Amino acid sequence: MKLGFLVDLNLCMGCKGCEIACKVENEVPLSSWRLRVKYIDMGTFPDTSRSFTPLRCNHCENAPCERICPVSALHYLDNGIVNIDSARCIGCAGCMMACPYGAIYMDPESNTADKCTYCAHRVESGLMPACVVACPVEANIFGDVEDETSHISRYIMEHRGAVQVRKPEKHTDPKHYYVGGGNQTLNPLAHERIEGYGLFNNITTLDTIGDPNHSILDRFITPIFGGHNDHLTNESFLEFEQGQDENKKEKGGHH
Amino acid sequence: MDHGTVIEATKAVVTLDIALPGIIWGWMITLNMWAKSIGTGVVLVGAFLLHRHKKEEMPNLRWLMPLISFIALNIFLFFTLIDLHQPLRMINIFLHPHWTSAITVGAWMASLFTGLIMLMAVIGAFDAFPDFRRHCSIAKSVRAKSSLYEKVFPFVVFLALPVTMYTAIIMAQSSARELWVGAPELIQMLLAAFMVGSASLILISEKWSAEVKKDLAMILAFSVAFSFTMYMGEYFFSFKAAEVEATLAFVHSGGAYNVQFWFAMVLGFIIPFFIAKGSMTNYNPTLMRFAAVTTLIGLYMAKDVWLKIPQLLPLS
């Protein structure tokens, strides 16, 4: 068995339902994403088009992240999923340097590397990944690519010639396919990031990798004696937000 | 921002995306590589000098060489450790080693190397200062096993080579950063070790013979010349990989790290080369000390640039 993923970009409408479902299912912390949908605009007004490209771990058969991981925290499952054992990860970020798809992040709460696991915990229970369930147009297709009767295999055969993977020149043998993609959507060098063209946000870069409050001493002291890392969670953020709202109310602002 | 600008038909623009990661491996990894180069470089250069000259011509080499190496290796190991996001789990490298990873192989070799260097430093120091702790039983037993130093030394020199170079394999395994190619990085690591190894020994060579000093000048001159040539080749002629071209085009155009790169080249390579070349025939100790310091600073800056620029490119 070799589990794979296919996204039909002709169907994807950029609703980001998969992104949210992934965040909720896997409790992905703020400032981190296992799956994201990137919007790319092409053409000149009025002849423009917008494409939506969901990006996640490619679960490569020849995974550079698995090779560089010094402690086998990243490992293959029998079904082909490249899984990660957060309890073993030492946080060297070697996998982040090795992954050609930028699919791995440093969890700011656990300070360990993390990524899409194709919802391995759900798959183990016979369920589909959360993003597949959430997709309203069934653009996400998941299944066994070694079983020629599976939906994904049939889809690949029906669209042969139009099925692509990202960065095939890296020889990572990704098990994540796209239909309806092109160079301008799948190749990061073929599209630009221009400040001022963002829909809701500016071009932003994370200030830190992992916990922003993890100073040199804290890295040693916090795990032994506890520290600010214990209360820097999504919950603390929500509490902060609620506090801000209460302040607004007190000042007569809108809720 | 002028929103009236049209988007060219041939170009695509990202209009919504998440925040991108910035520099993942930063100054701590630069310091890690730089300190390791000193730690192994003094051993390699020291071995070369001992092969060519009598040890009496370098009276303090026997104890200062392992001492400098030991201090540098501890800086290297300390910053390796604190750069980890889970430093207390470093032990997992020894409990759950994954041998395809150059990080694992390197950690094992570097730990063994540091242990042997510590042994040499202790023996060398007790032998160099025979009156120190004369009646201490531990000191007595160390002095009694003084010959162990010479027995261990060839193995340490042999081990210094892979310990110097394994970081290049880590860079090669970082498949996402095409600028780092295994073979040239291996040679760059070796040359870096000879550069800072000779520079460090120049700083302690005041009482050494003139011939030894000229050899040090020769090693410095040749290593900076070869390393500079390789940097120029990689910086200007890396045509074959699209991501490398994109990265270097950004830096060439005056982008981030352009000034630092050229400052590093002048400070760490060009200035030391001309001083060392002159000192190969007419040794000037003051200028050579200056060249040694600029080499140490310049190499740190060059390594820092080379580490960071491939990380500027968005991967997705």
Question: Tell me: the pLDDT tens digits for B192-209?
Answer: 999 999 999 999 999 999
pLDDT tier for residue B11 given thresholds of 50, 70 and 90: confident
Q: Report the residue from A93, A205, A210 with minimal CB separation from B20.
A: A205
- Tell me whether residue B193 is in a domain: yes
Mean pLDDT of A159-186: 93
- pLDDT at residue A184 in the model: 87
Q: Are strands A3-8 and A140-144 parallel, antiparallel or unpaired?
A: antiparallel
Residue entry with tokens 């221009």 = A194
Mean pLDDT of B119-125: 95
How far, in Å, CA of B299 to CA of B166, rounded? Answer: 18
- pLDDT at residue B193 in the model: 98
Name the 3-class secondary structure at A105: strand
Q: Report the residue from B8, B11, B86 with minimal CB separation from A90.
A: B86
- Say if residue A229's pLDDT is above 60: no
What is the average pLDDT score of chain B?
Answer: 93
B190-217 per-residue burial string, b: 16 or more CB within 10 A, e: under 16? bbbbbbbbbbbbbebbeebeeebbbbbb
Q: Report the residue from A38, A70, A223 with minimal CB separation from B88.
A: A223
Over residues B231-264, the pLDDT tens digits come to 999 999 888 888 888 889 888 888 889 999 999 9
The tally of domains found in chain B comes to 1
Q: Which of A52, A5, A1 is nearest to A155 (CA)?
A: A5
Element (H or E) spanning A225, and its range? Answer: helix A216-225
- pLDDT at residue B135 in the model: 82
**Residues in A touching B173 (Cβ below 8 Å):** 64, 67-68, 94, 98
> How many Cβ atoms from other residues are within 10 Å of residue B184's Cβ?
18
Q: Residue type for A228, please?
A: H
Could you tell me where in chain A the CATH 3.30.70.20 domains are found? Answer: 3-190
Strands (E), chain A: 3-8, 36-44, 47-55, 74-76, 82-84, 105-106, 113-114, 140-144, 163-164, 176-179, 191-192
Residue A197 to residue B14, Cβ atoms within 8 A = yes
pLDDT tier for residue A244 given thresholds of 50, 70 and 90: low
Q: Give contacts of B 214-243 with A, CB under 8 A.
A: 242-243
How far, in Å, CA of A69 to CA of B100, rounded? Answer: 8
Residue range(s) defining the domain that contains residue B210: 27-312
R_g (Cα) of chain B, nearest Å: 22
How far, in Å, CA of A66 to CA of A51, rounded? Answer: 31
How far, in Å, CA of B313 to CA of B251, rounded? Answer: 11
- pLDDT at residue B61 in the model: 96
Over residues A21-76, the pLDDT tens digits come to 999 999 999 889 999 999 999 988 888 889 999 999 999 999 999 999 999 999 99
**Residues in A touching B98 (Cβ below 8 Å):** 69-72
CA dihedral of residues A139, A48, A165, A115 (deg, nearest 10)? -70
Q: Report the residue from B13, B83, B107 with minimal CB separation from A70.
A: B107
A98-110 per-residue burial string, b: 16 or more CB within 10 A, e: under 16? bbbbbbbbbbbbb
pLDDT tier for residue A253 given thresholds of 50, 70 and 90: very low
Size of interface A-B (CB pairs under 8 A): 209
How far, in Å, CA of B18 to CA of A37, rounded? Answer: 9
**Per the structure block, which two tokens stand in for A102?**
């930028």
- Tell me whether residue B11 is in a domain: no
Please, what is the Cα angle at A101 between A42 and B253, to 5 degrees?
65
- pLDDT at residue A48 in the model: 87
ipTM: 0.91
* CATH number, domain containing residue B85: 1.20.1630.10
* CATH number for the segment(s) A3-190: 3.30.70.20
Compute the nearest-CA separation of A209 from chain B (Å): 6
B16 touches chain A (CB under 8 A): yes
Residue B189 carries which DSSP code?
H
Residue A97 to residue B24, Cβ atoms within 8 A = yes
How far, in Å, CA of B37 to CA of B69, rounded? Answer: 9
Residues B36, B202: contact at Cβ < 8 Å? no
Residues B289, B202: contact at Cβ < 8 Å? yes
Mean pLDDT of B115-142: 91
Q: Report the residue from B3, B82, B176 with minimal CB separation from A219.
A: B82
Residue entry with tokens 């000779």 = B198
Supply the DSSP string of A191-218, one letter for each residue.
Answer: EE--TT--SS----B-SSSS-TT--HHH
Compute the nearest-CA separation of A239 from chain B (Å): 23
- For the ranges A133-142, A202-211, A221-230, B45-54, which has the lowest average pLDDT? A221-230
